[in-house]
Structure formats: structure tokens, C-alpha cells
Amino acid sequence: MQKLTKAEEDVMHLIWEIGRGTVSDLLEKFEGEKPPHSTVSSVVRILEKKGFVGHKAYGKTHEYFPLIGKEDYGRRSLGDVLRNYFDGSVSRLVSHLAEEEQLSERELEELLRILNK
């Protein structure tokens, strides 16, 4: 699975959110200043070439939908972070999360419950 750029990932999150939709549908979901229609259309076509998105044509209108699930992409990305930033050490990653992300007591208890399984 290829990596996504920030712009591609932003658009992909919108596609995951709406499930199916046109470029215009995606533009409606952007918060703040909206990028040009042509920019979003180009990003969606790149996502399609990379195998993340498929489409169904209705005349000149294309409805896009995800081919890769958000969870699948997240697992792959987390694996990359683990290898590239924590030398493959799960304990270093969890330690970082516990120290830097200020996990709640409930979250820490949940981690301990999972680790004890």
C-alpha cells in the first residue's frame, strides 16, 4: 500500500466520512477555506490511481467511494510509525503515549487490561 500525502490523506478522510460522493460533495465537507474544485478532483484521481478510491460514472458525473478501509490504512500507518520512529519497539510507543499524550486513568487501565490478556 502506498503512502498518502497530507492533501491525499485529508481528501481520503472525507471520502471515508461520506462513504460515497462526488467532488462537489467532498467540497461541502471541507471546513474553512475550500480548495478549488479542480484541485480536489486531481487529488481524487491520484487516489484512484493509487488504488484507494474507485468510482462509478453517471454520464459525466463520477461518484467516488473508498476501496481501502480507514482502519486498514490506520494499521499500516501505525506500523510505519512504529518502525520509523520507535525502532519497532511497542513498549517505546506505549511509553510515549502514556507520557506525552496525557492518557486518562481510564485509558491507562484499558491498556493494562489489554496487556494482561
Q: Please state the separation of Cα 102 from the chain's center in Å.
A: 23
Domain extents for the chain?
6-66, 89-117
Check if the beta carbon of residue 8 is closer than 8 Å to that of residue 46.
Answer: yes
pLDDT at 59 (0 to 100): 93
The answer, yes or no, to whether residue 104 has pLDDT greater than 90, is no
| Annotation: CATH topology of 6-66 | Arc Repressor Mutant, subunit A (1.10.10)
pTM here is 0.80
pLDDT in tens, 27-38: 999 998 999 999
Q: Which residue has the cell 520512529?
A: 85
Higher pLDDT: 116 or 12? It is 12
Task: Assess contact for 27 and 34: CB atoms under 8 A.
Answer: yes
pLDDT digits (tens, 9 = 90+) for 47-98: 999 999 999 999 999 999 999 999 999 998 888 889 999 998 888 888 888 7
